[in-house]
A and B are shown apart, each in its own frame.
Chain A
Amino acid sequence: MRIQLLCASLLLAVAPVVAQAQGEFKIVVNSASAVSELTEAEVSNVFLKKVGKFPGGAAAAPVDQGKASAVRAAFSKKVHGRPVTAVDAYWQQQIFSGGESPPPAKASDDEVLAFVKANPSAIGYVSAAASTAGVKVITLK
């Protein structure tokens, strides 16, 4: 009984932290996309262009936010597990080693949403407060 109480207390203590990390941004795809959930590793691989497709086989076209944006900082830390500066260094290495070039970066949630609405392959992220009418919000497994 004491152990169950301890576990419940721990869960209660941890739950808000997890919710906060996931609650700072929403990942969105085109409303016609068949994708509804992805793991963090799958999202990271798509945004770092390590893969060009979603797990189901459909083409993936990631769109980023500006380097200075708070939502990009939260997304980078949660999904890539590293800060924006480290991801920027990754892209410099890719560009000058003949690899891929980074996804297009949009200046605001509205621009990301417009890109995602217009592109059936698109995947982006917006701040938690943004209205996501007209796009599909996917969950992180």
Chain B
Amino acid sequence: MLRPLLVAIALLGVVTPARAQFNADKLEIHGAINAAYGRSEQLPILGLSSSPTSDYRNLMLQFRYHTNETDQVVVQLLNRRLGTSPLQAALPDVALHWGYWQHRGEWATVKIGRAPMPRGLFNETRFVGTVLPLYRPSFEIYGEGRETVDGIVGTKRFALGGRSSLLVHAFAGSNEVRTQVVTATGNSIRAFRGERLVGSQLWVMLPFYDTKVGAYGARYDNNSVTPNGERGEYLFSAESQLPKVTVRAEALRIYGQGPNQDRRSSSGQGVVHATDWLDVVGEYSMTRNVVFQAAPLVNVDVTATRDAAAGLTVRLPNSSLVRVEYHETRGFAFDRLVPFLTTVANVTSVAAPSRTAYWLASFAVSF
């Protein structure tokens, strides 16, 4: 009885002055929706099965309250629907995606709370259809999770003369990952935290063709129900916006223990801006994974996924668009277990990759 009373008193203490200070001019509301209709032709993948679904979207609502000229509080809510994905059961209908206080100081900008994690070209905007070239950024590079940092993120920009600059993000804290893991014995949903997380994302902005080159690195303790251990990851990124074409490339490695992992992914993408309102996109991504096995079996290095995608984006007024895309995926990472490894007389052989093709038609708008 005492605890609820104390909580109520504490809330009153917080809420009453806040209401008294509320100023509507200082509040910004932004939103984005990325809603799709899709189907996978053979195997279920990323929540798409042979039965088409429209239960597939990301919706965000963002509130920014400027407490003064340098400080703001940002809260972002996220609703995700993943069709028939087993991961859907591990995700809340509405999540507090971000919640942080931001201070733009003399020397740097600091965010404290649950803030977006600077990682590669698209991590922070991975659900925002209007700024993505396809429905989602390459799954091989971005996967699920590692979206935010529970802790502190600092950002500092250094002028390098003219339009060149160096942008440095550094972060520390922990983060949360809920993901679907494909192993030799089956698919499972794992929720774990990356504790004692430290990392940095550097960007060099160059004056020609809006080119930027980035390097990201992080380490953390992988805390899950399986044996814990230290993980490291690094990611190199590059983007250049030529007059009619945007090209991007990224390469990622995640390695360490808890359980053992050594994953290398890469992705290349070209976007042809055919007109002011029409983009044509091509993307190729792949992942190689080491499957660690107990002695006397030897580890196996497998090309886990190859994904080739093509898409068309038609830009509409008011920051909205419609998009169609087609993917052909070969490998072993699907929503259903497929033939993978076979061991006979201590010799492991890898099955032929399975294949599926899936398509998505989506609508995105943001404001």
Chain A positions within 8 Å of B, measured between CB atoms, are 41, 44, 50-52, 59, 83, 85, 88-89, 92-93, 95-98, 101
Contacts and interface: CB of A to CB of B under 8 A. Distances in A.
A85 B115 CA distance: 27
Interface stretch (B124-132, B176-184, B336-344): B124-132
A71 to B, nearest CB: 20
Contact of B125 (A41, A52, A59, A93): A93
B157 A50 contact: yes
A98 B60 CA distance: 13
B165 interface: yes
18 contacts: A44-B163, A50-B165, A51-B159, A83-B276, A85-B276, A92-B32, A92-B128, A92-B130, A93-B125, A93-B131, A96-B30, A96-B60, A96-B62, A97-B124, A98-B74, A98-B100, A98-B102, A101-B64
A122 to B, nearest CB: 12
B: interface residue count bin: 20 to 34
A119 to B, nearest CB: 11
Contact of B104 (A52, A89, A92, A97): A52
A96 B74 contact: no
Contacts of A97: 116, 124-125
B332 interface: no
Contact of A98 (B69, B124, B157): B124
Interface in B133-190: 153, 157, 159, 162-163, 165
A11 B290 CA distance: 64
Given A85-B276, A93-B125, A98 B111 contact: yes
Given A50-B157, A89-B131, A92-B366, 11 more contacts: A50-B165, A52-B104, A88-B319, A89-B130, A95-B30, A95-B62, A95-B366, A96-B30, A96-B60, A98-B111, A101-B28
7 nearest A-B pairs in the assembled complex, by CB-CB distance: A97-B124, A98-B116, A96-B128, A93-B131, A96-B125, A41-B163, A97-B125
B359 interface: no
Interface centre among A44, A52, A89, A92 (most CB of B within 10 A): A92
B98 interface: yes
A139 B130 CA distance: 36
Contact of B32 (A52, A83, A96): A96
Nearest to B163: A41
A55 to B, nearest CB: 10
Nearest to B276: A85
A44 B205 CA distance: 14
Contacts of B130: 89, 92
B34 to A, nearest CB: 11
Nearest to B273: A86
Interface centre among B60, B98, B163, B315 (most CB of A within 10 A): B163
